[in-house]
Structure 1
């Protein structure tokens, strides 16, 4: 019997690279529109506060004076103007010339408005609806923020954008494999050839930009998944490292909402200020279904400009139910705590925000160059088919 008969039959090997090329091409085509929109609107949202102040000086800025009016007078001005609403959220002034921002949902429907008050005179400066669509100065930044959040299309779009983020994470691994065809010439993948023709320039720009942006876009993908699929991500992280549930979420809901608790916001601020370290409250919210205040205070452990020491006060007894900084706890707690500071760029101050602003624009360019490369390949393929028919 010939020796060849004893040789094992060769099985056809599966080539991974062509599969990765196919995946990357079609993911890019299908996801390009959404990623470009998220990138461009995200760049605008990075400077949400500054742009909103510039567009709405009359709402956001006041004349600084010696002493502010009492918190109760702020709220009285808002309640007098909007008696069919309650105060859910308070954003205290961060600078002497800042106004007070209140969020006031309706007692009758799902609408909610922002109300701005002069902290020194307790004068009502104006209001605007969260749901108002438009490109005018009053609503432009809220409109862009909503566009970035879910394209103003609600929960189903949140789910869809979460799916895009999930696949984008996988695509990051694929793109690295495709960007380094040979180990010896790895450095060439980071460069752009300027005098090799338009196609090579576009290809190099797409590849090099993707590699230089890779850490930032991976962060966008992971944090985007967190924001859009919050409960699923928290559950997945909890399986790896136990996650501490946010105290206000852990409280049981009452049968009826309490819109007139014995403890008001001002007293809740005072209670929080008596705690260890005399924390300065930055933001506060009231949950009528749980009859509890959640106050966010500044702390040396903060990882962005917002107060991240979360203090929960029972609204009828004044008892402090929880006092915890979001970075305390397990590795899972720390991982989740960093998602917003990283996604917004605020974890690294002005430099971090500038990097994210530019990165959002570059993500859109990355999508455009990918579409151009696909269109050229498609055109070349059709030309070859036509040439064969003619030949």
Structure 2
């Protein structure tokens, strides 16, 4: 009979607990990857493309967006809009002045059925260059794919779940990577591509270097999510007609939110449109409104939403790479006076932080360096996904899913679940999916035990 002393048994128990915890983390890491990897590849590919959306759209649609730079003065905005409406019958709802001397003007027309078309016009001779459906550029399609917006709110909720699970993937991945004993695979790749250890090390090292960026992308992408983002937006910007605290809104307000008129900043999604004066006189017209926006020094590239009726306003909005120049101005269509004029400086601390995160997420805050850094993160996500798939394929038993084995102490699995559940409290959809995965794990465990 072999006798084990108390002093010897204690390290054995500690080692057993550590091994059980490692297996439990590995199992949950596997489930997180199983749920997210296909979506992460989609997000990485579409996100990497959209980082360069301005350049790519300009190249793909150059016949519509670019014109020959000329010495003559551009035509008046009203003439450009008139030519656009003559080409595509309907009501003009938005006008985008040329951003530069070699850019076309854009006029959005809404027809009798409510469909919108964007008409591109040469500003020098008011010649119509062509049309696209509203939000019909290639890069806008990429953006819609990135958020799964094409497939409705349920699919958009999946993106929210993927974002939360990505954070859990990084957290569990760091634990699995953490060096516990001597050997390679910490910052070097061992073996050859035909060996599983090569893909394991490549996966781990890529994850440890890109983990911070992946967590940042997941968190900064959450403001767009269908549930968490909407609720946080409501909490952060739900007062004062949806405008940031301190912005004067002592004017008549409609029930029409700003985001229904086109893309807007996250902090202004709930902002209501003000109304023009109750006793109108002669409307100032588009030409005077454009001159007023230029006098107010809106950054080049701004768009103008046209009044929707007798109480409507001219709304000039611009969201450039430089956050300090982000701005929205509503003009009374009769007096031409600004009713509301706000910018990034007016947002609260929370709104500023989220807008900054969104700007960096989209590769806009620090120029080309920002784009390349986010592109590197996208490439790392694709590499992580591919290496995870190869590693799983080489490890899995034939004809089986290859779920990592249960820990020797099954209760450890629920201990790890309790830790991960903290993220589920912060992101409720993630929490719901976490419970679903726990039920799936119990089902798989029962099937394997019978």
Q: TM-score scaled by structure 1?
A: 0.78
Give per-residue Cα distances to partners, 1:183-229, cap 9 Å, x unaligned.
x8799533323559621110111111112212221222112221123
For residues 330 and 142 of structure 1, what CA distance do their matches in structure 2 show?
29
Q: Which one of 182, 186, 190 corresponds to residue 189 of structure 1? A: 186
Instruction: Tell me what 1:244 maps to.
Output: 244
Residues 64 and 73 of structure 1, relative CA distance in 2, 3 Å threshold: same
Q: Which one of 341, 363, 373 corresponds to residue 355 of structure 1? A: 373
Instruction: Give the secondary-structure state (helix, strand or coil) at the position aligned to 1:108.
Output: coil
Residues 228 and 322 of structure 1, relative CA distance in 2, 3 Å threshold: same
Instruction: Tell me what 2:117 maps to.
Output: 113
Residues 302 and 50 of structure 1, relative CA distance in 2, 3 Å threshold: closer
Residues 222 and 264 of structure 1, relative CA distance in 2, 3 Å threshold: farther
Instruction: Tell me what 1:83 maps to.
Output: 89
Residues 131 and 250 of structure 1, relative CA distance in 2, 3 Å threshold: closer
Instruction: Tell me what 1:123 maps to.
Output: 127
Residues 105 and 174 of structure 1, relative CA distance in 2, 3 Å threshold: farther
Instruction: Tell me what 2:45 maps to.
Output: 40
Give per-residue Cα distances to partners, 1:158-197, cap 9 Å, x unaligned.
1221222122233332222222143x87995333235596
Deviation at 1:351, TM superposition (A): 1.8
Contact 2:67 2:103 in 1 (8 A): yes
Give per-residue Cα distances to partners, 1:67-95, cap 9 Å, x unaligned.
1111111111111122224323x333232
Residues 297 and 44 of structure 1, relative CA distance in 2, 3 Å threshold: closer
Instruction: Tell me what 1:335 maps to.
Output: 353
Instruction: Tell me what 1:26 maps to.
Output: 31
For residues 84 and 49 of structure 2, what CA distance do their matches in structure 1 show?
30
Residues 60 and 274 of structure 1, relative CA distance in 2, 3 Å threshold: closer
For residues 381 and 48 of structure 1, what CA distance do their matches in structure 2 show?
43
Deviates more, 1:367-376 or 1:193-202: 193-202
Q: Which one of 290, 300, 316 corresponds to residue 295 of structure 1? A: 316
Give per-residue Cα distances to partners, 1:135-172, cap 9 Å, x unaligned.
xxxx5444333222316213222122122212223333
Instruction: Tell me what 1:233 maps to.
Output: 232
For residues 243 and 211 of structure 2, what CA distance do their matches in structure 1 show?
28
Instruction: Give the secondary-structure state (helix, strand or coil) at the position aligned to 1:65.
Output: coil
Residues 160 and 253 of structure 1, relative CA distance in 2, 3 Å threshold: farther
Instruction: Give the secondary-structure state (helix, strand or coil) at the position aligned to 1:346.
Output: coil
Residues 55 and 341 of structure 1, relative CA distance in 2, 3 Å threshold: same
Residues 108 and 21 of structure 1, relative CA distance in 2, 3 Å threshold: same
For residues 63 and 271 of structure 2, what CA distance do their matches in structure 1 show?
39
For residues 395 and 204 of structure 2, what CA distance do their matches in structure 1 show?
16
Instruction: Tell me what 2:155 maps to.
Output: 157
Equivalent pairs, count:
354
Residues 54 and 382 of structure 1, relative CA distance in 2, 3 Å threshold: closer
Instruction: Tell me what 1:73 maps to.
Output: 79
Residues 263 and 190 of structure 1, relative CA distance in 2, 3 Å threshold: farther
Give per-residue Cα distances to partners, 1:18-69, cap 9 Å, x unaligned.
3322221111112111110111111122222222222222111111112111
Asked if 1:217 corresponds to 2:214, the answer is yes
Give per-residue Cα distances to partners, 1:305-357, cap 9 Å, x unaligned.
xx512222233443312222224443202112113311211111012112323
Asked if 1:58 corresponds to 2:63, the answer is yes
For residues 50 and 263 of structure 1, what CA distance do their matches in structure 2 show?
35
Alignment RMSD: 3.6
Instruction: Give the secondary-structure state (helix, strand or coil) at the position aligned to 2:150.
Output: coil
Instruction: Give the secondary-structure state (helix, strand or coil) at the position aligned to 1:95.
Output: coil
Instruction: Give the secondary-structure state (helix, strand or coil) at the position aligned to 1:87.
Output: strand
Asked if 1:371 corresponds to 2:389, the answer is yes
Instruction: Give the secondary-structure state (helix, strand or coil) at the position aligned to 1:104.
Output: strand
For residues 248 and 262 of structure 1, what CA distance do their matches in structure 2 show?
28
Give per-residue Cα distances to partners, 1:257-309, cap 9 Å, x unaligned.
xxxx934443333223344xx4445312426387233323589x9338xx512
For residues 228 and 383 of structure 1, what CA distance do their matches in structure 2 show?
31
Instruction: Give the secondary-structure state (helix, strand or coil) at the position aligned to 2:323.
Output: coil
- The answer for unaligned runs of 5 or more in structure 2 is 1-5, 7-12, 246-266, 276-281, 403-450
Q: TM-score scaled by structure 2?
A: 0.68
